[in-house]
Amino acid sequence: MQSNHNYTYQELAAFAEAVFLKMGCPASDATLATNVLLSADLRGIDSHGIARLVGYVRLWEVGRINATPNIQIVHETPSTAVIDGDRGLGLIVAPRAMEIAMEKAKQVGTGWVSVKNSNHFGIAGYHAMMALEQEMIGMAMTNASALVAPTYSAEKLLGTNPIAVAIPAGEEAPFVADFATTTAANGKLEIAQRNNTDIPMGWAQDAEGNATQDASILKKGGALLPLGSEKEQGSHKGYALGSIVDIFSAVLSGASFGPWAPPFPAYVPMPENMPGEGLGHFIGAMRIDAFRPAADFKSNMDLWLHRFRNATPAKGHEQVYVAGDIERKMEKERMQNGIPIVHAVQSDLAALAEKMSLTFEVKS
Amino acid sequence: MQSNHNYTYQELAAFAEAVFLKMGCPASDATLATNVLLSADLRGIDSHGIARLVGYVRLWEVGRINATPNIQIVHETPSTAVIDGDRGLGLIVAPRAMEIAMEKAKQVGTGWVSVKNSNHFGIAGYHAMMALEQEMIGMAMTNASALVAPTYSAEKLLGTNPIAVAIPAGEEAPFVADFATTTAANGKLEIAQRNNTDIPMGWAQDAEGNATQDASILKKGGALLPLGSEKEQGSHKGYALGSIVDIFSAVLSGASFGPWAPPFPAYVPMPENMPGEGLGHFIGAMRIDAFRPAADFKSNMDLWLHRFRNATPAKGHEQVYVAGDIERKMEKERMQNGIPIVHAVQSDLAALAEKMSLTFEVKS
């Protein structure tokens, strides 16, 4: 077990912002990238937050991330656009895509932006939630390097390809779904590795496609399984969802897709014969008053949320949650009491600080 | 075990069309409803095909289905519309919604139609596939009466709420996903009941929320489980997906939602205090050339499909399929060799024929 210690949001944000500035990001981009990155830590999705900062820097060092991208619309209609992220941080490119989607939604009701030549964009939920303030439904998805085997496949052909959908309400807290299209995220396997425990059946398979409980199986040629785990439990549905995310994000935009999606670790060579440019995202915004008067929608949405949040719990449970409830609670708690960072990540950040002539205090 | 016998597509279509005409549907609607209904039988989704014809007639008899609806747009923007189905057959209303979505996509790149006051629309895949001929991506989803318990809930609050996404290609056969957002469809429980066998763990829970293998559990207050089965296997993701379908289909349109969605069996009373009108659907169309030149998209999509279809199979399997492959094969086979209909359904159809002064030959 690793010890860990809490950092305030402000401590982590100041450090992350300093790193992005050292990379050469313009000041406003450094602030935005920090907000996006740390929203993961606040919401309890530790695998996608500051723990990845070192990884982003390494991609910048090898030239796969451009700190001063010229993000451009390369194709558009009144409700759609494709943008070229110019190898920018996904943390910057995806919010820009959402701004464009919302601008189009203001004009014609909805906006849909497919993005190529980007990089990892942090948590999908951040980008989807941008729409909430504008009384819009927001959607965000991204492809990622292949860790997942389709149903009946021994090969890894898809990333964990998350989907986020944020839906505004009136008095009730909004609906915010944000999930990988796999049974379990890779971060959960990493935790099991650190703790030296087995993983549950249904999370992964070995190199030949056999069921396994080995938490280190990905290092031995194994794969994560799509949501549903096995055919009998509906894995072909999780496989279809992951496919849709890959196609909307990368085939629609001209990014690299399927087994050719670029890897996150900078030491992993780029795939050969890449059919497109960089990672892809798909971002959508729908104005709720493009369908109904906003007050009517919000009133019904409040009823929906209230009914689900007050459902009779199953035996052994105390509460039925709506998507986003647990993350919202965590965000409040961590903003107040700080964010725990495991020692291994603290060491990584301290080494990064030294390399960049910055300071990062190791607390445990 | 029930014996069964094959009918030609033409035999079944002639009978279904005659029934819709007897209900008072205009001739073109009777033909369309027949095409939609039987597309389920052809594609092997027997639970949603001619087996449901008797159910549609019963809903018409009690006045819940209007055979001559005045389907109208009640709200719109350049890329969106809400339509009121006027209690029409969903089999008619949903294709009309897709026509409107595609017309909007022609104008502004994409079209999104949320539908209220409708009824069951057959298989979601039919409506999504309408877009393929127009070089568009098609999407269709619908809410349905509550059979599914959210994660940690003892109560049933969601329908099986399917999602279909059809994506065109060049030389390769298209991608056509069409799946309920549950682990298993209710039809699979019905088959296990007929065969007197247990169902696998992860498909259903009892009235208190305990795991069960009892195929009859829904009659005893039990519930189907969302895709993922349990929290540890990601059921909160399936629950989120089912929620999104319910909200897009019914809260956006003003249909009845969640536990208040109208039931399919005509003998089940309508829920009290319904917050909206009838069932809801959500239909979308995106022109592929609203994102990239169609030829570029198709060429990359062919590469995607070819790579997945030719992936190395897992041990014990011979082939990796893409969404829609199995249904396409079935459709070809059944168009050639006929459609098997179980005896119980044959008897139902014969009784229906007698009531409507038509003929239906029982073959086994």
The answer to whether residues B119 and B96 touch, using CB atoms and an 8 Å cutoff, is no
Residues B138, B123: Cα–Cα separation, whole Å: 13
Structure tokens given for B258:
């969640």
- Give the distance, in angstroms, between the CA of residue B275 and the centroid of all CA atoms in the same chain: 23
CA distance to partner chain A, nearest, from residue B160 (Å): 13
User: β-strands B110-118, B80-84: how paired?
Assistant: parallel
Q: Does B292 touch chain A (CB under 8 A)?
A: yes
pLDDT score, position A360 = 97
Q: Do A209 and B247 touch (CB under 8 A)?
A: no
User: What pTM value is reported for the model?
Assistant: 0.98
User: By percentage, how much of chain B surpasses pLDDT 70?
Assistant: 99
pLDDT score, position A4 = 59
CA distance to partner chain A, nearest, from residue B52 (Å): 24
Neighbouring residues of A154: CB distance < 8 A, sequence distance ≥ 6: A207, A208, A209, A223, B311, B312, B313, B314, B315
Ordered mean pLDDT values, 10 residues apiece, chain A (364 residues)? 74 98 98 98 94 97 97 98 98 98 98 98 98 98 98 98 98 98 90 90 96 95 96 96 98 98 94 97 98 98 98 97 98 96 94 97 91
Give residue-wise pLDDT tens across range B84-103: 999 999 999 999 999 999 99
CA distance to partner chain B, nearest, from residue A236 (Å): 8
pLDDT score, position B195 = 87
CA distance to partner chain A, nearest, from residue B13 (Å): 30
Q: Does A78 touch chain B (CB under 8 A)?
A: yes
Angle value at C-alpha A314, between B220 and A334, nearest 5 degrees: 160
Q: Does B162 touch chain A (CB under 8 A)?
A: no
| Nearest residue, CB atoms, B257 vs list A288, A304, A314 | A304
Q: Does A194 touch chain B (CB under 8 A)?
A: no
Q: pLDDT band for position B364 (50/70/90)?
A: confident
Q: If you measure CA to CA, which chain B residue comes closest to A256?
A: B300
* Residue of A119, A16, A144, A146 lying closest to A63 (CA atoms): A119
Structure tokens given for A44:
């309890």
Q: Does A323 touch chain B (CB under 8 A)?
A: yes
Q: Do B79 and A181 touch (CB under 8 A)?
A: no
Residues A127, A15: Cα–Cα separation, whole Å: 22
Q: In chain B, what residues touch A286 (CB-CB under 8 Å)?
A: 80, 112
User: β-strands B4-7, B339-342: how paired?
Assistant: antiparallel
* Residue of A364, A362, A363, A358 lying closest to A15 (CA atoms): A358
Q: Do B209 and A238 touch (CB under 8 A)?
A: no
- What's the sign of the alpha-carbon dihedral B225, B228, B231, B232? positive
Give residue-wise pLDDT tens across range B243-300: 999 999 999 999 999 999 999 999 999 999 999 999 999 999 999 999 999 999 999 9
The answer to whether residues A179 and B237 touch, using CB atoms and an 8 Å cutoff, is yes
Q: Does A231 touch chain B (CB under 8 A)?
A: no
* Residue of A209, A237, A216, A158 lying closest to B225 (CA atoms): A237
Q: In chain A, what residues touch B107 (CB-CB under 8 Å)?
A: 78
Q: In chain A, what residues touch B292 (CB-CB under 8 Å)?
A: 75, 82, 252-254
CA distance to partner chain B, nearest, from residue A300 (Å): 6
Task: Provide the H-helix boundaries in A43-150.
Answer: 53-61, 90-108, 124-129
Give the A window 34-63 contacts with B, CB below 8 Å: none
The answer to whether residues A127 and A137 touch, using CB atoms and an 8 Å cutoff, is no
Q: A112-126, B69-83, B182-196, B321-335: which has the minimum mean pLDDT?
A: B182-196
Q: Do B323 and A254 touch (CB under 8 A)?
A: no
Give residue-wise pLDDT tens across range B143-170: 999 999 999 999 999 999 999 999 999 9
pLDDT score, position A327 = 98
Q: How far is CA A239 from CA A151, A179, A340, B250, B329, in A?
A: 7, 14, 34, 26, 19
ipTM of the shown complex: 0.98
Q: Strand, helix or coil at B31?
A: helix
* Main-chain phi, psi angles of B54, to 5 degrees: -60, -40
Catalogue all structural domains in chain B, each as residue range(s) with its CATH number: 10-68+342-364 (1.10.1530.10), 69-182+232-323 (3.30.1370.60), 184-224 (3.30.60.50)
Mutation pick from A74, A277, A300 vs chain B, by most beta carbons of B within 10 Å, is A300
Place of tokens 């009779």: A312
CA distance to partner chain A, nearest, from residue B177 (Å): 6
Mutation pick from A103, A106, A148, A304 vs chain B, by most beta carbons of B within 10 Å, is A304
Q: In chain A, what residues touch B227 (CB-CB under 8 Å)?
A: 227-228, 234, 237-238
Eight-state DSSP code of residue B249: I
Give the B window 244-273 contacts with A, CB below 8 Å: 244, 246-247, 251-254, 257-259
For all residues of chain B together, what is the average pLDDT?
Answer: 96
Residues A305, A323: Cα–Cα separation, whole Å: 10
pLDDT score, position B2 = 42
Q: In chain A, what residues touch B183 (CB-CB under 8 Å)?
A: 228, 233-234
Residues A96, A113: Cα–Cα separation, whole Å: 10
Does the structure show a pLDDT above 90 at B123? yes
Q: Do A109 and B247 touch (CB under 8 A)?
A: no
pLDDT score, position A345 = 94
| Nearest residue, CB atoms, A152 vs list B233, B275, B320 | B320
Structure tokens given for B320:
């990796």
Amino acid identity at B146: A
* Residue of B202, B230, B234 lying closest to B217 (CA atoms): B202
Q: If you measure CA to CA, which chain B residue comes closest to A259?
A: B307
Q: If you measure CA to CA, which chain B residue comes closest to A303?
A: B275
Length reported for chain A:
364
Q: pLDDT band for position B4 (50/70/90)?
A: low
pLDDT score, position B1 = 36
Q: In chain B, what residues touch A251 (CB-CB under 8 Å)?
A: 297, 300-301, 304
CA distance to partner chain B, nearest, from residue A307 (Å): 9
Q: What is the DSSP string of A188-246?
A: HHHHHHHHT-PPPTTSEE-TTS-EE--TTGGGGT-EE-BTTSSGGGTHHHHHHHHHHHH
Pairwise pLDDT comparison (B2 vs B321), residue with the higher score: B321
| Nearest residue, CB atoms, A79 vs list B79, B149, B154 | B79
How many Å is the maximal CA-CA distance in chain B?
55
| Nearest residue, CB atoms, A209 vs list B228, B308, B314 | B314
Q: Does B167 touch chain A (CB under 8 A)?
A: yes
Q: Do A233 and B233 touch (CB under 8 A)?
A: yes
